[in-house]
Copies of this chain bind each other. A is one copy, B any other.
Amino acid sequence: MSDNVAGDVRLQRQLSFLLEIDRLKQVLRRTLIVDGSRRENDAEHSWHIALYAAILHEHAPDPKPELGRVIRMLLIHDLVEIDAGDTFAYDTIGYQDKAEREEAAATRLFGLLPEDQALEWRALWQEFEEGETAEARYAAALDRLQPMLHNFHTDGHSWKLNGVTLSQAVARLRVLEEACPPLWTFATDMLRQSVERGYLKEE
Contacts and interface: CB of A to CB of B under 8 A. Distances in A.
A172 interface: no
B11 A182 contact: yes
A14 B68 contact: no
Nearest to A186: B11
Number of copies: 2
Contact of A7 (B21, B33, B68, B182): B182
Interface string A94-122: 00000000000000000001000100000
A84 interface: no
A34 interface: yes
Interface in A163-203: 182-183, 186
A26 to B, nearest CB: 7
A175 to B, nearest CB: 18
A75 interface: yes
A41 interface: yes
A18 interface: yes
A71 B51 CA distance: 10
A103 to B, nearest CB: 21
B43 A47 contact: yes
